[in-house]
């Protein structure tokens, strides 16, 4: 499979364990990697046969802001579901970065990466854990 990557999607959303994080919101940076077959799109130079990464960007922004989660793991999970639902991809990796987590004496970022595939998506749609 081929891979399409969008790294650095900037989203303002209301996720976090602390009530102030969910109330005030904060910035998150999201990276996605999508595995799909790009042969037809490349051979035909045809957007209609490709995964439109502008549409992927819109999907990520909308899904990340649609709900309020305590954990960035839950945000990444919902993004995996949304991307597998909306696009003809076989596998997805989503990394959610929290640039300024409320941790004393910490200047870095926290992040989590989830990788999911189409069989996982089917199980989730059927209600399996």
Strand order in the sheet with 2-13: 2-13, 26-36, 91-98, 110-117
Q: Which of 35, 98, 114, 121 is catalytic?
A: 98
Burial code (b: 16+ CB inside 10 Å, e: under 16) for 51-85 equals beeeebeebbbebbbeeebeebebbbbbbbbbbbe
Told to judge if 109 belongs to the known catalytic residues of this protein, a careful annotator would answer no
Active-site amino acid positions: 98
């Amino acid at each position: 499979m081929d891979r399409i990557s969008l790294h650095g999607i900037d989203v303002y959303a209301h996720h976090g364990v602390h009530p102030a994080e969910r109330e005030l919101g904060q910035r998150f940076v999201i990276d996605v990697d999508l595995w799909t077959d790009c042969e037809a799109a490349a051979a035909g130079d045809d957007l209609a046969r490709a995964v439109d990464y502008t549409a992927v960007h819109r999907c990520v922004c909308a899904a990340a802001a649609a709900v309020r989660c305590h954990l960035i793991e839950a945000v990444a999970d919902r993004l995996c579901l949304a991307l597998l639902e909306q696009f003809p991809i076989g596998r997805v990796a989503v990394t959610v970065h929290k640039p300024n987590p409320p941790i004393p004496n910490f200047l870095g970022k926290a992040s989590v990466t989830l990788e999911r595939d189409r069989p996982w998506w089917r199980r989730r749609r059927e209600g399996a854990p």
